Structure 1
Amino acid sequence: MDPYLYEAATGGDVSFLRRIRDGDVLLNHDLLLQRTPKDNNILHIAVEFKHIEFFRQVPNHYSSSLFWAANKKGDTPLHVAARVGCVEIVEFLIDQAKALQIRGADEESCHRKPLLRMTNLEMDTALHVAVRYGHLGVVVLLMEADPELCCLTNRADESVLFLAAMKGSAEIALYLLNESPVCPCFRGTNGVTALHAAVTRSTLTSKGIVRTMVSKNPEMTKNVDALGWTPLHYAAFRGNLEATRVLMQCDSSASYILDNSGMSALHVAAHAGHTKIMKELILLRPDICDLLNDQGQTALHAAVLGARVNVVEYILKTPELAAIINEADKDGNTPLHLATLHQNDKIIKVLSGDRRVDMIAINKEFSMPADMFLGDNIGEQETIRRAMVLDNLGCSVGVPFFQQQISRDFDKLEPLEKDTDKIRENQLRARPDDRNALERDDTKLLVATLIATVTFAASFTSVPGGFKDDGMPILYEKAAFKVFQFFNAASFYISILAIYNESTPITVLSIHLPTPSSLIQYSIGGMLSSL
């Protein structure tokens, strides 16, 4: 584009256009039709700066070529005016569309409407653009000129009402719903409607937009998106209590609709941690607590999978939901099984603290909750945290756990001679961390053994003060000697316990013992106290 022409458009130099219009300047015929690299003409540029006078001074024989020309993105000057929110230029272009005539055609049907409905490469009309950028004044002008614009969708299948809901533009949404002579289109991307979008915005709900949408199009409450979610699913997910009430009052049967995974709105609310939504759903449809997803899981399963302690506590405190406390899914897993599988200590504590929870329920793999908590750590020393959790579970383990433990224990005690080389090879290939762990274990055993040896000798062969002729210690009746004997004996027994705990595979009894490191520290403390 000619630099002088570009500067005139950006600066709004209307005197340049007046001279061309009045014939005072002899210019190349194509000068005003020049484009930028983006294919913008002078009006695309002028509208960015809201130069309305620049539009009014365009020579008549250039008007149709400039007013409705599209750039590389398919945007006309009207699209740009809608984006920047210039009401004056939008109104001017609407008037130009009305005045434009085509020979042999009706002006109303063939000129104004098609021009206002021109779309860009994304199939957006100027109304789509105005709604997307939140310009209510432009929306009003375009809707007054062509009310049916609110029925059009773009390439992404987005209607203008859907865009208003997604943007949270309450004023625009209310205008489209209440002022349009035709019912606006609700459609949106991937089956998500304007109602789906509105229930996720508390501001739209509080201003009565959800209620207005439902009253104008009550069938929308059961529309599902690509995931199979209804507006009620979305309201439950977002925790929008007011929207949930509006939807349930319109048609509470929507609460029975399951998504593509078999999840009801109750499942979604439980997974998201919204107990108030659950109460509202159960209040109007008490039997929805019996709904199961494709895995045969209840709302309590969903709460456990969502790590929602508050929902688990709510369900346990609600008498109407007592029937689902121990209900198993298709794999035979109760909610407690899932809590232990995912090692959620808080939920395990809450569930195991309720007497109604079956602590020894067996799933289809014949595993109890404690088995699933231990997982791949069978035969390994458990941490104090695991010991506390297993204490909550009652240390109830199933048959497979014991069988696997027995197999591992016997394999360790009686390795076949032909496997000796393989075992040695595996040890050599062990990761540095594993080798370091083995070395630390050996060191612990050595220290514990030395402590046991020293304390044993101190009690029977190297007693302080020596012995009398009758074999009794000389200091037997002294208080200090009794203190020595107590701490020395304690140190001896604790060191023996440390040796046992370090060298013996985990059992139901040993998981409650402190770690070997702690026991060794206690035994050393006992030795020092006896000095």
Structure 2
Amino acid sequence: MDSSEAELDRIEAQRSTDASHDQQNRTYLPMNIHGSQDFSQSGGDGVTPLTGDTESVPEFLTNLRLSDLYAIRGEDVRMIPEVFSKISDGNKECLEKLRSRGISVARIKSNTGDSILHLAVTWGHLELVKEIVCECPRLLLEQNSSGQTPLHVAAHSGHTTIVEAFVALVTFSSARLCNEESERMNPYVLKDKDGNTALYYAIEGRYFEMAVCLVNANQDAPFLGNKYGVSSLFVAINTGDVSLVKAILKIIGNKDLKGKKSNLESKLQGQKSLAHVALVTQSIGVLDVILDEYPSLMDERDINGWTCLSLAAHIGYYEGVCNLLERSTKGVYVCDQDGSFPIHTAAEKGHENIVEEFIKRCPGSKHLLNKLGQNVLHIAAKNGKFWISNMLIINKDTEHLGVGQDVDGNTPLHLAVMNWHFKSITWLARSSKILKVRNKNGLRARDIAEREVKPHYIFQERWTLALLLYAIHSRGFESVHSLTKPSVPLDPKNNRDYVNTLLLVAALVATMTFAAGFTIPVPLQQ
């Protein structure tokens, strides 16, 4: 007798001992199906009798032992290497050999808690899976040491045909059980140690055909959250699959919008900012599905306090901004927790097309000013977004923002000078009126530049001051003779930095032209 034969004999001996132990202690699963259904007329072989139309019943289910769904169990038996290897290879003869020795295949487990059904599913052996599940249907509910059922394993591995076979089994079995029992025969809502359902893994792996099958099989699983607060619906939105998201959202009842929203909130676990997720993934199709079903989600705030419009403006999602504005423009006038409107967010990030869209669709000044007294031009100038500054200052509907003062009395020109954003100076200093404005400290933009410029040569500062003085000179309201502070080397002991700075300045000056334009002499005609 070889070692594998001896090991099988040991398992068989353990089975006899366990059976005797079970008869004494009557160890049952939480429910015994025999208490509510009589299988005594099924021929005594455990085969489920079929009634009614059998043409639609999958062939492999004709041998289903429904009476074993909640059978008595004993202690688990360690899976020997030979069984592990043969089941992994899809060898049906191994199953027959275990049966011939009277060994309960349902109790054999690997060192990671996998049953033989887990192994057969892992390697995608569909026919072996069907044979095992018909003989031991309760294995479909068995969890391994990671808390995963065979359905989890099938979904994670992308075995769609196996998942479909499991769905057929559960559907067939549930139809023949009472309501309480069919609820217990529900592998779709079982979670592993990370709190994930099989549907979660199907969507995460982008097995969308499988995911739709699981969604149609159970209406609760899409809304269950894992231990990180992420639901399958959340992941589906994140993948951008329109048909899957539509399939999930359509299963919510109630025809009235308020009732639907309430029903969604009561079902959905974990993170709930669904429209925000669609915006982040920039899936306009999914966004349409969500907001068509639940328009009120557009007004909700995420964990950062952002509305949908603020988020779209923040990430620069132009198509999303346009979509939201087509639905309603009221979000333009809803400020965030810091008092900024969506247009300020877009200006800060430099999304010129979105700022332009806000101004075009929503004329007026209410949304242009935040609680700090800063208008959208202040924001653009402060953050060096010179294209936005230029666009706003030459637009007749927004040019008045150039003389606007914040709570400290600073104009956009003041802020641009304070931050040495020289590219915006020529446009922001385009009128004498702007150049004359003083802040609450009595300082004009020129005063700030001359006071703050450092004595050592920093190109950005010197260039800002030069452009500002040129603008003052060209407007002709104040004389300008020279820069007020001579430049000195950065560090007398380190001439390399000083020389490099001068070379950089020389290269930039050689390649740049003033936007306002120094006059270029025209040669005389001969």
Q: Confirm or deny: 8 A CA contact 2:332 2:341 kept in the other structure.
A: yes
Q: Confirm or deny: 8 A CA contact 2:106 2:115 kept in the other structure.
A: no
Structure 1 position 143 matched with structure 2 position 215:
yes
Q: In the TM superposition, what is the alpha-carbon distance from 1:221 to its structure 2 partner?
A: 1.0
Q: 1:281 aligns with which of 351, 358, 361?
A: 358
The answer to which of 187-196 and 264-273 deviates more is 187-196
Letter aligned with residue 7 of structure 1: S
Q: Confirm or deny: 8 A CA contact 1:223 1:230 kept in the other structure.
A: yes
Structure 1 position 134 matched with structure 2 position 191:
no
Matched residue SS, 1:325: helix
Q: In the TM superposition, what is the alpha-carbon distance from 1:224 to its structure 2 partner?
A: 0.3
Q: Confirm or deny: 8 A CA contact 1:82 1:129 kept in the other structure.
A: yes
Q: Confirm or deny: 8 A CA contact 1:17 1:57 kept in the other structure.
A: no
Structure 1 position 195 matched with structure 2 position 275:
yes
Normalised TM-score (structure 1): 0.65
1:368–1:6 CA distance, 2 compared to 1 (3 A): farther
Letter aligned with residue 155 of structure 2: A
Inter-partner Cα distance in structure 1 for 2:380 and 2:292: 33
Q: Confirm or deny: 8 A CA contact 1:14 1:54 kept in the other structure.
A: yes
Q: 1:90 aligns with which of 153, 157, 163?
A: 163
Inter-partner Cα distance in structure 2 for 1:34 and 1:177: 39
Structure 1 position 255 matched with structure 2 position 332:
yes
Structure 1 position 67 matched with structure 2 position 143:
no
Inter-partner Cα distance in structure 2 for 1:201 and 1:348: 37
Inter-partner Cα distance in structure 2 for 1:213 and 1:74: 32
Inter-partner Cα distance in structure 1 for 2:270 and 2:184: 33
Matched residue SS, 2:398: helix
Specify the structure having the higher radius of gyration (Cα). 1
Q: 1:47 aligns with which of 105, 121, 145?
A: 121
1:16–1:307 CA distance, 2 compared to 1 (3 A): farther
Q: 1:363 aligns with which of 439, 444, 450?
A: 439
Q: Confirm or deny: 8 A CA contact 1:233 1:268 kept in the other structure.
A: yes
1:335-387 deviation per Cα after TM superposition (whole angstroms, max 9, x unaligned):
222222222221233323x2266234433444443455467654x24446533
Q: In the TM superposition, what is the alpha-carbon distance from 1:222 to its structure 2 partner?
A: 0.4
The answer to which of 177-186 and 321-330 deviates more is 177-186
Q: In the TM superposition, what is the alpha-carbon distance from 1:8 to its structure 2 partner?
A: 2.5
1:61-114 deviation per Cα after TM superposition (whole angstroms, max 9, x unaligned):
7441x32222343222212222222222212222333455799952575234x4
Q: Confirm or deny: 8 A CA contact 2:225 2:269 kept in the other structure.
A: no
1:156 corresponding residue in structure 2: 228
Inter-partner Cα distance in structure 1 for 2:387 and 2:136: 69
Letter aligned with residue 70 of structure 1: Q
Matched residue SS, 1:286: coil
Q: In the TM superposition, what is the alpha-carbon distance from 1:219 to its structure 2 partner?
A: 0.6
2:97 corresponding residue in structure 1: 19
2:463 corresponding residue in structure 1: 388
The answer to which of 231-240 and 53-62 deviates more is 53-62
Matched residue SS, 1:319: coil
1:373–1:85 CA distance, 2 compared to 1 (3 A): farther
2:240 corresponding residue in structure 1: 168
Q: 1:117 aligns with which of 168, 189, 201?
A: 189
Q: In the TM superposition, what is the alpha-carbon distance from 1:301 to its structure 2 partner?
A: 2.3
| Uncovered stretches (5+) of structure 2, i.e. residues with no partner | 1-78, 255-259, 473-483, 499-508, 510-526
1:284-312 deviation per Cα after TM superposition (whole angstroms, max 9, x unaligned):
32235544334332222222344322211
Q: In the TM superposition, what is the alpha-carbon distance from 1:281 to its structure 2 partner?
A: 2.4
1:161–1:26 CA distance, 2 compared to 1 (3 A): closer
Q: In the TM superposition, what is the alpha-carbon distance from 1:228 to its structure 2 partner?
A: 1.3
Q: Confirm or deny: 8 A CA contact 2:174 2:182 kept in the other structure.
A: no
Letter aligned with residue 388 of structure 1: W
1:33–1:259 CA distance, 2 compared to 1 (3 A): farther
Letter aligned with residue 54 of structure 1: L
Structure 1 position 343 matched with structure 2 position 420:
yes
1:251–1:73 CA distance, 2 compared to 1 (3 A): farther
1:333 corresponding residue in structure 2: 410
Aligned residue-pair number: 398
1:305–1:233 CA distance, 2 compared to 1 (3 A): same
1:219 corresponding residue in structure 2: 296
Inter-partner Cα distance in structure 1 for 2:308 and 2:421: 31
Structure 1 position 9 matched with structure 2 position 79:
no
1:314–1:100 CA distance, 2 compared to 1 (3 A): same
Inter-partner Cα distance in structure 1 for 2:351 and 2:133: 63
Q: In the TM superposition, what is the alpha-carbon distance from 1:143 to its structure 2 partner?
A: 1.9
Q: Confirm or deny: 8 A CA contact 1:289 1:321 kept in the other structure.
A: no
The answer to which of 290-299 and 73-82 deviates more is 290-299
